Amino acid sequence: MKPFLRSALQGSLAAVAILASSAAAHAKTPADTLVMAYVIDDMISLDPAEIYEFTASEYMANTYDRLVVIDPANPSQLKLQAAESWSVSDDGRTFTFKIRPGIKFHSGNDLTAEDVEFSMERFVSLDLNPAFIMTQFGLTKENVKDKVRVKDPMTLEVELDAAYAPSFFLNCLSFTSVVVDKDLVAANEANGDWGHEWLKTNGAGSGPFTLRSWQPNESLVLEANENYWDGAPEIKRVLVRNVTESATQQLLLQKGDIDIARNLTGDQLAAVKKDPNIKLQSYPKATLWYMGLNVTNQHLGNPDVRRAMRYLVDYDGLQETMFNGTGIKHQTFLPDGQLGADNSTPYTLDVAKAKELLTKAGYPNGFNVTIDVTNKSEARELSASLQNTMAQAGINLVIKMADNKTTLTKYRASEHDIYLGQWGSDYQDPHSNADGFLNAPLAKRNQWATPEMEARVMAARDEKDATKRAQMYMDLQKLQLDEGPYVILFQQVETIALRKNVDGFIVGPTFDLDLYRDVVKN
Amino acid sequence: MKAALRLILSVATTLLGLLLVTFIIARLLPADPVLAVVGDHASESTIEAARIRLGLDKPILVQFWIYLTNVLQGDLGESVRTGRPIASELARVFPATLELATLGTLIGVVLGVPLGVWAAVRKDTWIDHMVRFFGLIGYSVPIFWLGLMGLLVFYAKLDWLPGPGRLDFGYEEIVTPVTGVMTIDTLIAGDFDLFRNALAHLILPASLLGYFSLAYISRMTRSLMLGQLRQEYILTARVKGVPERRIIWKHAMGNILVPLLTVIALSYGNLLEGSVLTETVFAWRGLGLYITDSIFGQDMPAVLGGTIVVGAIFIVINMLTDVAYRVLDPRAR
């Protein structure tokens, strides 16, 4: 070997050895900090009037208070948070909220009815992504000032345009009634933007954690609010680190460099389950995998064809092999946990039955049809299995793979035959999915919407008797199961992997119910 | 003077062409960029408002003109997804890539050039075959797989090196970015412990990139060197009794230095674009990951901003190489 080369090699090896020994000496995650690997590339704004995506609503839930929230332990029940009590007028149109005294914002300001009024006005007036959840109650930019009223410093009144089921309005508020610090936000207002530009990257809440820093696609750091009215968190800091590669997340967790891995795949979960230092925790999310069938397609317009297709899915096989703890079979449009949800699964893989139905429909030899699939590994695997089982009855699925925005653009314009994708509830009320699947937007995209169906959806929305309301949703689900333009497949289950010493992390049915406050590291 | 003018003109047209093509390709995609901003559940009025706010209702050439005039004033616009100035986002991610690429290229040169020379001198012996085989692996094995294997072996099994990230995650927030280059920033902060942590985090990803660049550099060095060793002046030198070491490192090396520099500069430029896969595996937020994320997120202004940076990198590297030629090659002076 040439002397020069030898010394170069020896030098670099020595450098590696020195550094390696020092690196291993470092401690693992600090005892007072929760370190979590999580894909947070969908977090694009921290303004509660704009937050609508998964991970950002988790941020919102941990740094802000809302008037009411869903009880994660029992998702059909509500819990009071910034509101101390609520009541509704006899005509069902006016809600009165008593504000809980003694809540302080992170800035030190007191939380009063003024802040709630400001927040609601702001939410409606900014008219950003989630604004429709409030405007559906007749609150508009023009009238919100008159409809949301401060009665006294601790009392707020909200007047709706009609009488809705109280549970419906409150369920919506559980997502939208985030209270922002009026004085702080107003001080950062520019060009009449309600402080939006500022709040997109800053916090103005009263929740158990405060925002320390956010770097998009990189990290989110929260610090404990020592003065939280409902008790300060045990841990001092939460560090959320964007780690896009799930295999990397698995390594980090097994080495103890993170406390929680949020995005492990079915295979990886099965692998870490065997690790004595790791445990799993899961909760069904209000997100469904489904196929949307465009009924203007000559084949898909026939209800018997749609029935046949529901018999051509290997529900059990997929649940065990592909989902492996990240999904359970589910065939109705209401996810488990919502009022009136029907968890029955009458369809199984039954090729003979499907052939019989196809023959009845006039297609004994099947037909060709295209399916638009998002280019993500789960969707790819799912569509390959569907293609295989559908072919057994002669239905030839031609898979068209594209990125999410491309397939969605096509779906929104109803230019698809079949669309394979996911749908998550906007809020924890059955109306969100009933409206979505039976009226707008999904029934419209699949060209199945009718005025009669819309009327039935609205009637269920407005029913004041909760038992009757649940029954109405049961009936609608029966109908969809039989003739609807969907093959609903699976309900997503969020399974997170944690180090054994981490307790108290709450995983809820929606991301705005994933809570860190009770986390302890033993 | 004339040469400088010509250079500026060619740089400007290259950049303009690059921007125009990227702009038009992005607009031709059958995906609606507004969806990236408002999400699938938004109402029609929200979508329309966002379209107007982003200027997407104007004709495409008008949009391009507006963009161009802003860029000339140093304003790369705001990211559609995060609402932050793209210039500052790029300033944040680029040093991460710079740090990795520089160390990677350094490794590639320090090991690749001697290996290439060695293989050329021992042409067709087992040494030559070994070097070429080693290079072939570096060139053809997916870097993604190598990265994961590297982590499995050196981090998970042997515990010699730390895991992904530029620092241990718990320490990441401690360092205040000054230059954005973690090894320098930790030194500025005067924390030697953190410096060693940052350096240790660099080793594995930089070695991977180094291996990749070594594979290329050693191959090129070998063939350049072989070309020289066949020349008559080498024979003359040998006949005159000049020591073999001097013949190789002085005579032959002197003649391949200029083309070799081009090879190294090209390889450095490639690494500076950011290695998407390496950055993904090592959770290393650099330029490559930033541009890829932006493409998938339909974040047009960010993609264009990244394109400008990549274009600028190549122009700067080309200019530096030009200067180096003049220094190294007496004929070019």
* Chain B residues touching A410 at Cβ < 8 A: 30
**Residue A4, pLDDT score:** 46
Q: Which of residues 284-313 of B touch A (CB under 8 A)?
A: 285, 289-290, 293, 296-298
pLDDT for res A399: 95
Collect all residues of chain A within an 8 Å Cβ-Cβ radius of residue B37.
44
Neighboring chain B residues of A1 at a CB cutoff of 8 Å? 118
Q: How many CB pairs under 8 A join A and B?
A: 172
Percent of chain A with pLDDT over 70: 95
B265-284: average pLDDT: 85
Whether residue A8 has pLDDT greater than 60: no
Nearest-CA residue of chain A relative to B159? Answer: A24
pLDDT band, very low/low/confident/very high, at A156 (cuts 50, 70, 90): very high
- The string of pLDDT tens digits covering residues A229-245 is 999 999 999 999 998 88
pLDDT confidence of residue B332? 66
In B, minimum Cα distance to A39 occurs at B283
Report the chain A residue with the minimal C-alpha distance to residue B122. A1
Rounded-to-integer distance, Cα B192 and Cα A146, Å: 61
- Name the least confident of A138-142, A241-245, A288-292, A357-361: A241-245
* Interval B150-164: pLDDT, tens: 988 898 888 888 888
pLDDT digits (tens, 9 = 90+) for A174-214: 999 999 999 999 999 988 899 998 999 999 999 999 999 99
Tens-place pLDDT, residues B72-81? 887 888 887 7
* Domains assigned to chain A: 7-46+211-277+500-521 (3.40.190.10), 65-187 (3.90.76.10), 285-493 (3.10.105.10)
Least confident of A7-11, A433-437, B215-219: A7-11
Task: Give the residue from B321, B198, B333, B329 showing the smallest Cα distance to B267.
Answer: B321
Whether the predicted pLDDT of A17 surpasses 60: no
- Which residue from B46, B162, B201 is facing A129, i.e. has the nearest CB? B46
Question: Which band of pLDDT confidence, cut at 50, 70 and 90, is reported for residue A267?
Answer: confident
pTM given for the model? 0.82
Instruction: Say whether A9 and B111 touch across the interface (CB within 8 A).
Output: yes
- The shortest CB-CB distance from A30 to any of B40, B118, B170 is to B170
* Span A11-30, average pLDDT: 50
Nearest to A219 among B114, B172, B281 (CB): B172
Q: Has residue A488 got a pLDDT over 90? A: yes
A508 CA: distance to closest CA in chain B (Å): 21
The pLDDT, as a whole number, for residue A110 is 97
Confidence (pLDDT) at B333 = 62
Which range of A86-95, B54-63, B156-165 scores highest in mean pLDDT? It is A86-95
The pLDDT of residue A22 is above 80: no
For B:50-79, CB contacts with A below 8 A are 79
Contact residues, chain A, for B78 at CB < 8 Å: none
Give the lowest-confidence range in A17-21, A26-30, B41-45, B236-240: A17-21
For residue B40, name the pLDDT band (cuts at 50, 70, 90): low
A406: pLDDT strictly greater than 70:
yes
pLDDT band at B42 (very low <50, low <70, confident <90, very high): low
The whole-number pLDDT of residue A9 equals 47
User: Are A405 and B197 within 8 A, CB to CB?
Assistant: no
pLDDT > 90 fraction of chain A, expressed in percent and rounded: 73
Smallest CA–CA distance, residue A262 to chain B, in Å, is 15
Lowest mean pLDDT among A108-112, A216-220, B34-38, B138-142: B34-38
Residue A2 clears pLDDT 50, i.e. is over it:
no
Report the gap between the CA of B1 and the closest CA in chain A (Å): 43
pLDDT digits (tens, 9 = 90+) for B107-149: 999 999 999 999 988 888 898 898 888 888 887 888 888 888 8
Q: Do A53 and B39 touch (CB under 8 A)?
A: yes
Q: What residues of A are in contact with residue B156 (Cβ under 8 Å)? A: 251, 254-255
pLDDT of A25 > 70? The answer is no
Residue from the list A2, A129, A412 with its beta carbon closest to the beta carbon of B114 = A2
Domains of chain B: 2-72 (no CATH), 88-332 (1.10.3720.10)
Substitution target from B41, B149, B275 for chain A, most A beta carbons within 10 A = B41
Q: Is B161 on the interface with A (CB under 8 A)?
A: yes
B155 lies within 8 A of chain A by CB = yes
Interface touch B196/A22, C-beta < 8 Å: yes
Cβ contact A26–B168 (<8 Å): yes
pLDDT in tens, A132-146: 899 999 999 999 999
Average pLDDT for chain A: 90
pLDDT tens, position by position, A420-440: 999 988 888 999 999 999 998
Q: Are B96 and B166 in contact (CB under 8 A)?
A: yes
B285: nearest CB among A22, A44, A217: A217
Please judge whether B110 and A245 are an interchain contact, meaning their C-beta atoms are less than 8 angstroms apart: no
Q: Is the pLDDT of residue A1 over 70?
A: no
- Cβ separation of A252 and B115 shorter than 8 Å? no
